[in-house]
């Protein structure tokens, strides 16, 4: 089943290309900044375009998976509806067409005749992505395709994506805001048990070339199935263990834990974490990015006390964390449990609705 995970890596990179194109190609970037102008029509146009970027990413993932693995595209679930109403009142269903020209014509109907932007967007949507991973290509793990479902968050941290801040400084590697907080999240789960099986987190704006101002991304993946646990950070972790051992010992002597939290987290949570983590509590934007900080080892735990996170926000990171020996649990359930029940914490599941789930990763 590594072929499915490898294809998810490819479609995540194609999605990242779309996200970068919308910021780096002039015809598309002008649509993103329309919301900064005064006219109400422009604000609606920008809102439509932001949603269109999300929908295109989601549809690219669906269509590519369906083409390679017939039937799987129908099991891709996400946040966005692919129906639009343009200024003429036309209802348009956005789906990838068989040719770049046909996709451009469809997009122009959504973008009220803006062919320059529509053609630029269609071009990047139809571009092939050549991505290989020797570890995945040599992996032999069989997972029945019929048990798989996929949660997608096409562009997580949309506000940071539109705002586009590129000069935010990190705090011990954690960015509180900025384009680095934007992620594309693809999580695969077992339709029968709800367990997360495979995850891909693509960070389209991981680093910027200060000469060309072009962005490059970084992709992370993990697989956890039937006792098989493998992830993309294994080589990096084994290489860095000896280098960071002394540094970690120094940190543990003062603050044994570090945490990443929402920028709008409750003061009571901040205070409680400060008692345990001292100054190693890092606010950051984006549910996907905060989860990624734990995956990267920049923080030990991500705590979110509100009930506004959804399946598409956590499934990808959950699968990677399971492959690394971690997980994501329902904070509310954990707090209500008796200490006598031990450390078998209630992991989030993805085939049934969570009622007011709060996350602890």
Annotated catalytic residue, options 313, 320, 330, 359: 313
Catalytic residue among 7, 34, 59, 79: 79
Give the pairing of strands 76-78 and 148-156: parallel
Q: Is 183 a catalytic residue?
A: no
Cα 199 to Cα 316: distance, rounded to the nearest angstrom = 4
Catalytic, 135? Answer: no
74 vs 94: CA distance, rounded Å? 15
Residue 54: active-site member: yes
The catalytic position among 34, 59, 80, 156 is 156
Whether 156 sits among the annotated catalytic residues: the reply is yes
Q: Do residues 326 and 231 make contact, with C-beta atoms less than 8 angstroms apart?
A: no
Q: Is 153 a catalytic residue?
A: yes
340 among known catalytic residues? no
Q: In the annotation, is 344 catalytic?
A: no
Among 7, 13, 34, 54, the active-site one is 54
Given 18, 143, 155, 261, the catalytic residue: 155
Do residues 96 and 86 touch, judged by C-beta distance below 8 A?
A: no
> Where are the extended beta strands (E) located within 146-214?
148-156, 183-190, 196-208
- Angle, helix 100-110 to helix 115-126, in steps of 10 degrees: 140
Q: Catalytic pick from 13, 153, 190, 265? A: 153
Q: At what angle do helices 287-295 and 311-323 cross, to 10 degrees?
A: 0
How many whole angstroms separate alpha carbon 332 and alpha carbon 11?
Answer: 35
Annotated catalytic residue within 147, 158, 300, 301: 158
Positions annotated as catalytic residues are: 54, 79, 153, 155-156, 158, 313
């Amino acid at each position: 089943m590594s072929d499915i995970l490898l294809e998810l890596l490819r479609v995540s990179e194609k999605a990242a290309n779309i996200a970068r194109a919308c910021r780096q190609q002039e015809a598309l970037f002008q649509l993103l900044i329309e919301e900064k102008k005064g006219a109400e029509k422009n604000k609606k146009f920008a809102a439509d375009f932001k949603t269109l970027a999300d929908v295109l990413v989601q549809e690219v993932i669906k269509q590519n998976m369906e083409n390679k693995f017939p039937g799987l595209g129908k099991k891709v679930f996400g946040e966005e509806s692919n129906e639009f109403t343009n200024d003429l009142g036309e209802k348009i269903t956005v789906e990838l067409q068989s040719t770049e020209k046909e996709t451009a014509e469809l997009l122009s109907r959504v973008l009220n005749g803006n062919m320059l932007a529509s053609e630029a967007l269609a071009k990047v949507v139809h571009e092939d992505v050549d991505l290989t991973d020797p570890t995945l290509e040599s992996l032999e793990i069989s997972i029945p395709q019929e048990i798989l479902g996929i949660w997608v968050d096409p562009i997580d941290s949309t506000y940071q994506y539109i705002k586009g801040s590129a000069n935010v400084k990190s705090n011990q590697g954690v960015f509180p805001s900025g384009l680095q907080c934007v992620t594309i999240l693809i999580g695969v789960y077992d339709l029968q048990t709800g367990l997360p099986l495979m995850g891909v987190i693509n960070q389209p704006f991981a680093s910027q070339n200060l000469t060309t101002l072009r962005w490059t991304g970084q992709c992370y993946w993990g697989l956890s199935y039937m006792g098989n646990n493998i992830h993309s950070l294994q080589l990096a972790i084994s290489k860095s263990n000896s280098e960071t051992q002394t540094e970690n010992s120094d940190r543990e002597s003062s603050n044994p834990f570090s945490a990443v939290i929402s920028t709008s987290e409750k003061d009571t949570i901040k205070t409680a974490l400060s008692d345990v983590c001292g100054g190693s509590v890092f606010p950051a934007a984006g549910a996907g990015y905060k989860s990624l900080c734990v995956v990267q080892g920049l923080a030990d735990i991500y705590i979110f006390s509100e009930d506004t996170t959804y399946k598409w926000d956590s499934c990808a990171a959950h699968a990677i964390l399971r492959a690394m020996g971690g997980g994501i649990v329902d904070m509310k359930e954990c707090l209500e449990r008796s200490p006598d029940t031990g450390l078998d914490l209630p992991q989030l599941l993805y085939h049934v609705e969570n009622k007011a789930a709060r996350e602890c990763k």
